[in-house]
């Protein structure tokens, strides 16, 4: 098996494992009827990014990207619907989902009827994916800041951290092998924030949580 095929397979495996690792949280949301146990906006952004990734993969004729993003879309759709189901009232998350869906459809219509050229469409889709992925990877900075303020790493999930590092590493290598800036660059941010979490665990791991 060639290096590219190994990295591609590894990227699929770690991505699927990351999706599967969120299932317990989704079940907890349903059982407790508490939507705050999962980040709704992240799930919604992940769903939009997956749909964009499907089209991106189709334009590139990359079956792996198409498959990965279809699987992610299914998982994220389940997470989003579960959160909406238990939310009271449901109007806010449903409105957010509707607006996000309409926004994505409008974006697609713009690409198809205004942009037209395949290369330009690819670049705009790639930029959309880049922005969403970068924002998603950058948000743990707030968690790191909270950890430093409380001088406690109690709120950092080691299992999720390990999964995040593995996922960011594989997507970084995969993007580099594809020579695709939109795929590899957000993962540099992901590894940087993960490194920050590791430092927090090493520095504050033995300290009790302070209010």
Give me 148's structure tokens. 């430093």
Please tell me what DSSP assigns to residue 96.
Answer: H
**8 Å CB contact between 73 and 51:** yes
Q: What is the pTM of this model?
A: 0.87
pLDDT tens sequence across 93-144? 999 999 999 999 999 999 988 887 989 999 999 999 999 999 989 888 888 8
Provide the phi-psi class of 38: left if phi over 0, else alpha when psi is between -120 and 50, else beta: beta
pLDDT tens sequence across 139-187? 888 888 888 888 888 777 787 788 889 999 999 999 999 999 999 999 9
pLDDT tens sequence across 59-71? 999 999 999 999 9
* 64: nearest Cα among 183, 189, 192: 183
Question: What is the mean predicted confidence (pLDDT) over 30-37?
Answer: 90
- Cα four-point dihedral sign 157, 153, 33, 80: negative
Q: Which residues contact 117 (CB under 8 A, 6 or more apart)?
A: none
19/195 Cα distance (integer angstroms): 21
Q: Where are the alpha helices (DSSP H) in 22-62?
A: 23-32, 40-60
* 191: nearest Cα among 203, 205, 173: 173
54/115 Cα distance (integer angstroms): 18
């Amino acid at each position: 098996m060639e290096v590219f095929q190994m990295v591609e397979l590894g990227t699929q495996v770690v991505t699927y494992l990351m999706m599967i690792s969120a299932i317990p949280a989704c079940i907890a949301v349903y059982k407790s009827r508490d939507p705050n146990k999962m980040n709704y906006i992240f799930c919604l952004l992940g769903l939009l990014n997956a749909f964009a990734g499907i089209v991106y993969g189709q334009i590139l004729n990359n079956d792996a990207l198409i498959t990965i993003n279809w699987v992610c879309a299914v998982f994220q759709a389940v997470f989003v619907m579960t959160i909406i189901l238990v939310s009271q009232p449901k109007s806010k998350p449903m409105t957010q989902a509707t607006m996000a869906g309409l926004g994505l459809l409008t974006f697609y219509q713009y690409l198809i009827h205004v942009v037209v050229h395949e290369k330009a469409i690819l670049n705009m889709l790639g930029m959309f994916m880049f922005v969403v992925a970068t924002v998603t990877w950058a948000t743990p900075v707030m968690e790191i800041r909270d950890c430093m303020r409380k001088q406690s790493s109690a709120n950092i999930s080691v299992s999720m951290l390990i999964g995040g590092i593995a996922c960011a590493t594989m997507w970084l290598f995969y993007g580099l092998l594809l020579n695709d800036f939109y795929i590899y660059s957000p993962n540099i941010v992901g590894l940087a924030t993960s490194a920050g979490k590791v430092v927090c665990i090493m520095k504050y791991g033995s300290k009790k949580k302070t209010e």
